[in-house]
Amino acid sequence: MEKDEILKQLNPEQASAAGTVNGPVLVLAGAGTGKTRVITFRIAYMLACGIPPQMILGMTFTNKAAREMRERLAQLVQPQIARKVTLGTFHSFCIKILRRDIAKLGYLPSFTIADESDQQGVLKQAAGQLGCNYEGFPLGEVQSMIGRWKNKLFFPEDARRHADTTFEATAAQLYEEYQTLLEMQNSLDFDDMLLLVYRLFTEHPDVLERYRETYQYLLIDEYQDTNAAQFTIVKLLTGDRCNLCVVGDDDQSIYSWRGADISNILGFPDHFPGAKVVKLEQNYRSTTSILNAANVVIGSNANRHEKQLWSNLGDGEPVKIVTTENGESEAEFIGSMITQMKNDKPELRYQDFAILYRSNHLSRQLEQTLRRQQIPYRLVGGQEFFKRREIKDAVAYLKLLVNPCDDQSLLRILGTPPRGLAQKAVDSLKTGRRAKHKPMFELLAEEEFQKELTPKAAAAAREFAEVYAKYKERFAEPGALAWKITEFLKEIGYLDGLQRIYKDLKDAMKRRENVDEFITAITQYEERQAEPPTLEAYLENLALLEESDKVEEETGTVDAVTLMTVHASKGLEFPVVFVVAMERNIFPHERALEEGSVEEELRLFYVAITRARKYLYLLRAKERMQRGITRATLPSPFLHLLTDEVAERTTPEELLRPASEDEVRQAFANIFKILKSDQ
C-alpha cells in the first residue's frame, strides 16, 4: 500500500500522528479515539517509507495489546514483513536482551523468573539469615518497598542511602540479602527485568550502542503507565536520534500504586525538546451524553493535558444517577434492569452488560442477587488458575529443569508428594548451601550428601536426581512439550502422588483435573507457535502473563454479565455499564480522601464512565452494610460534578416498568427451578 493511501484511511489528527516519522512525537489519545489504529497505521507508513522492519520497536504493557497490533499490521502489510517488526511488552523485550547479554552481569542465560510466592520464600530466607524475626515483621510491606525501589532504579546501596527510618534501614538490609540470594539461585523477580537491563546499558555502553543501532525507531503504547525504570530505558535507547513516538492518555493514568509516574507523559515536551504533540479527541465508542459526563468529570483535574472528547454517534440516552435504599436494593435494581433491557431490546445479550466497582468486596451482594434472578455472570479477578497450589507445584518442577540453581523451586517440591526426604534432609541442604555455596539440587545429587541420609532417603534423593538428569536431556530438544511434561510429572511421582498430598479423594481428583487442564493449556500454547517451543520459552511466556491477559481469558466469549473492578475494566468497552457504590469513602476510596489526593481516583471514575458505549448507570445507596454494620452513606463527591445538564437523577421506581404476564411466569419458573435444585 502506498504512503498516501495509508494516511487517507485516517482522520486528520490520526494522519498527522501516523505521518510524522522522525523526531519525538506525543500522541494524546483520549478514550476510544483509535490509538491502536494510529500505531499500526504509523508502522505501516514507516515501512512504506522504506524503513526496514527490523529497525522498528513497539512496546506496550500487555500481550493482548501487542498481539492485536501485530494482527492489525498483518492486514496492512505482508505478514512476513509484519513478523519482522519487534512488538511486545516492556518485560518481554527486556528478557530478550537479558537472555543474550546477562552473562556480562554474572548470571547464567538459563535464569528463571521468581513469582510472588518464590519472592516471599527468598525474603523469608533473607530475614532468617539476618536474624530478623519475620513472623512479627511485615515482610509483605518490605516486598512492596523493594519493588518500588527497583522501579526507581534504586540498588541496595541506594536504598540504604535513602532510608529515613529504622524500618526502611532494615528493609534496605533485607533488600541486599534478598538480591544476593536471588543471584545465587540464578533467578530474577519481575522488577529485575527492567533494573538489570538498565544496569547492562549503563555498565556496558557497547551493548547499549548495539541496541540503539538495531532499533532506530521506537513506539511506546500506554505511555502514561510507564515508571521511572521504563522511562530511563526508553531515554537510553532513543539516544541522539530521538525517533520516538509515544501514545497515551494522562487522563487514564490509574496505576501509581504500581509505580506508574504520570509526570512521564505530562513532561514529555520537556524531556524531549522539540516534540510534536497531537491530540486525538474524536471518540468512536460512546454517545455524546456519555462523553459530556466524562469531559465534565476529568475537567476538574488541574494537572493534565487539555483535551475534549467528542463523537458523531449522536446524543443517545442521558447518563442516569440512580439512588437506591441500600446495597441489596441496588443489586436487585441492576438485576431487574438487565432483564427489562434484554426484553425490550432483543439485540442485547448478557455479555453486553458490565457491573463495575471500586473494590472487589462489593461483588458479593451482586453475585447473590444475579444467582437468585438466574442471570448468568462471570466474575473477573477470582482465584487465578495459575495461582492454584497444584499448578504452582507443577510449574516449580519444570522451573528446576530449566534452572538447577533455583533453590526455592526445589524446596517447594522436594516433599510434594512425600518421598522420604524429611526436614532433617532439608536442613542439611540449607546448611550445605551456605557452607559450600552450591545450589541445593547439586548437593542433593552428590554421593557425599546422600551418605548423611537414611538408606530410604538416600535412595529417594538418587532417584529424584536421576529422573531430572534424564529429562533435562530430553527437554534440550524443542517441541512435544505437553507430552514430555506429562511423562516427566508421571515419572517424578507428582501425578500419582496427588492422592498422598490431598487426603480427600474428591479434592485430589479435582486437583488432578486442574493439572490435566494445565497440560491442555501447554498443548494450546504449542499449537499457537510458529516454531517448536522450548520449555524455557513456555515458562517465560507463563511468567509474563499480564493481568489484562488474564482478564481477557476470564471475559472470554461466554454470554454472561461481567463483574469486575474499574481497574480491571481499562481497555474494555460494553454497551451497558453499571457503576455501583458511588459513595464517599468507597469511590473515591477513603485512603485518597485522607491523604487529600483524589486526582487519580477522579481519573479512575473517568475510566469507568468511558467504558460505556450507549447506556451508563451510576448507582449510590442511602445506606450500606460495611464490616457487618449497616451505616448511612453520603453520595460520592464525584456525583456533585455531574450537573442536571449532563446527568439525570432518578430512582429504580421511575426506571422499572411493571412486569408483563410472561415475565411474571418466567420469574416463578425460575423460583421453582431453584427450589427443585435445592431439594
DSSP 139-208: HHHHHHHHHHHHHTT--HHHHHHH--SHHHHHHHHHHHHHHHHHHHTTEE-TTHHHHHHHHHHHH-HHHH
Query: Over the stretch 84-113, which tens digit does the pLDDT of each residue have?
Result: 999 999 999 999 999 999 999 999 999 999
Strands (E), 593-654: 612-626, 629-632, 647-650
| Contact residues for 352 (Cβ-Cβ < 8 A; gap 6+) | 574, 575, 576
Cell 517441541 found at: 479
Between the CA of residue 427 and those of 129, 181, 432, 501, what are the distances in Å?
14, 17, 9, 21
217, 264: one domain: yes
Please indicate, yes or no, if residue 299 is contained in any of the structural domains: no
The secondary structure of 208-270, three-state, reads HHHHHHHCCEEEECCHHHCCHHHHHHHHHHHCCCCCEEEEECHHHCCCHHHCCCCHHHHCHHH
Instruction: Identify the sign of the CA torsion 265, 270, 275, 281.
Output: positive
Task: Find the angle CA(170)-CA(176)-CA(179) to the nearest 5 degrees.
Answer: 135
Is position 33 annotated in a ligand binding site? yes
Paired residues of 357 in beta bridges: 565
Closest CA to 602 of 630, 569, 576, 638: 638
Please indicate whether residue 221 is annotated as part of the active site.
yes
Residue 301 placed within a domain: no
The annotation status of 293 as a binding-site residue, yes or no, is no
3-state SS, residue 378:
strand
Kind of pairing between the strands at 310-311 and 282-283: parallel
The CATH number of the domain holding residue 427 is 1.10.486.10
Query: Does residue 225 share a domain with residue 93?
Result: yes
The position carrying cell 510472588 is: 116
**Which of 185, 206, 222 is the endpoint of a domain?**
185
Tell me if 575 is assigned to some domain.
yes
| 584 catalytic per annotation | no
| Residue 553: inside a domain | no
- 654 carries an active-site annotation: no
Q: Report which residue type is found at 624.
A: R
Q: What integer pLDDT is reported at residue 627 of this predicted model?
A: 67
Distance of alpha carbon 294 from alpha carbon 603, whole angstroms:
10
Coil, strand or helix: which one is 523?
A: helix
Per-position DSSP letters for 388-414, written without gaps between them: SHHHHHHHHHHHHHH-TT-HHHHHHHT
* Co-location of 396 and 532 in the same domain: yes
Place of cell 501509581: 256
Decide if 598 contacts 592 (C-beta within 8 A). Answer: yes
Greatest CA separation found in the chain? Answer: 83
pLDDT recorded at residue 452: 86
Tell me, yes or no, whether 70 and 16 share the same domain.
yes
Is 611 annotated in the active site? yes
How many residues comprise the chain? 679
pLDDT the model gives residue 658? 81
> Identity (one letter) of the amino acid at 176?
E
Q: In angstroms, rounded to a whole number, what is the distance separating the alpha carbons of residues 113 and 99? A: 12
The confidence score (pLDDT) of residue 129 equals 85
Burial 235-263 (b: 16+ CB within 10 A, else e): ebbbeeebbbbbbbbbbbbbbeeebbbbe
Q: Binding site annotation covers 35?
A: yes
Report phi then psi at 561, rounded to 5. -70, 140
Q: Cβ distance 581 to 619 under 8 Å?
A: yes
| Cβ partners under 8 Å of residue 444, min gap 6 | 410, 429, 450, 461, 464, 465
| 369 in a structural domain | yes
Rounded to 10 degrees, the C-alpha dihedral 276/282/284/287 comes to 150
577 DSSP β-pair partners: 354, 616
Q: Residue 434: beta bridge partners?
A: none
Cell numbers for 30: 483520549
Specify whether 124 is catalytic: no
- Residues 409 and 508 placed together within one structural domain of the fold: yes
- 670 lies in some domain: no
Query: Grid coordinates in use for 671?
Result: 423460583
The answer to whether residues 533 and 420 belong to one domain is yes
Question: Measured in Å, how far apart are the chain's first and last C-alpha atoms?
Answer: 66
What is the pLDDT at residue 595? 80
Active-site residue (options: 611, 613, 614, 624): 611
SS3 534: coil
| Residue spans of beta strands (DSSP E) within 96-150 | 112-113
Strand runs (DSSP E) across 254-388, as ranges? 276-280, 282-283, 310-311, 319-326, 353-357, 377-379
Q: What's the rounded Cα separation, in Å, for the pair 485 and 483?
A: 6
Q: How many domains does the chain have?
A: 4
Instruction: Tell me the C-alpha distance between 371 and 568, whole Å.
Output: 22
Q: Is the peptide bond before 417 cis (omega within 30 degrees of 0)?
A: yes
Residue 136, pLDDT score? 65
Cell of 385: 488458575
Residues 403 and 475 in one domain: yes
Domain end among 280, 300, 331: 280
User: Annotated binding residue at 31?
Assistant: yes
Indicate which CATH number applies to the domain containing 141: 1.10.10.160
665 located within any domain: no
Kindly state whether residues 40 and 161 are assigned to the same domain: no
Compute how many other C-beta atoms are within 10 angstroms of the C-beta atom of residue 641.
17
**Judgement on whether residues 458 and 533 belong to the same structural domain of the protein:** yes
- 464 and 521 co-located in one domain: yes
How many CB atoms sit inside 10 A of residue 547's CB? 14
Say whether 36 is catalytic. Answer: yes
Last residue of a domain, one of 474, 507, 540: 540
Say if residue 443 is in the same domain as residue 480: yes
The reported pLDDT for the residue numbered 507 is 86
Task: Quote the pLDDT of residue 678.
Answer: 52
Residue tagged active-site, from 222, 390, 600, 601: 222
Map residue 657 onto helix, strand or coil: coil
Q: What is the pLDDT of residue 551?
A: 52
Sign of CA dihedral 525, 529, 532, 537: negative
CB within 8 Å of 594: residues ≥ 6 apart: none
- Name the residue range of residue 413's domain: 387-540
Q: Which CATH number fits the domain that encloses residue 51?
A: 3.40.50.300
Closest to 593 measured CA to CA, from 634, 648, 535: 634
* Domain-located, residue 288: no
| 79 and 213 belong to one structural domain | yes
| Three-state DSSP state, 606 | helix
Pick the catalytic residue: 9, 20, 36, 374? Answer: 36
How many Å apart are CA 301 and CA 78, to the nearest integer? 44
Contact call for residues 58 and 69 (beta carbons, < 8 A): yes
Does 30 count as an annotated binding residue?
A: yes
Taking 50 as the pLDDT cut, the residues of the chain under it are 548
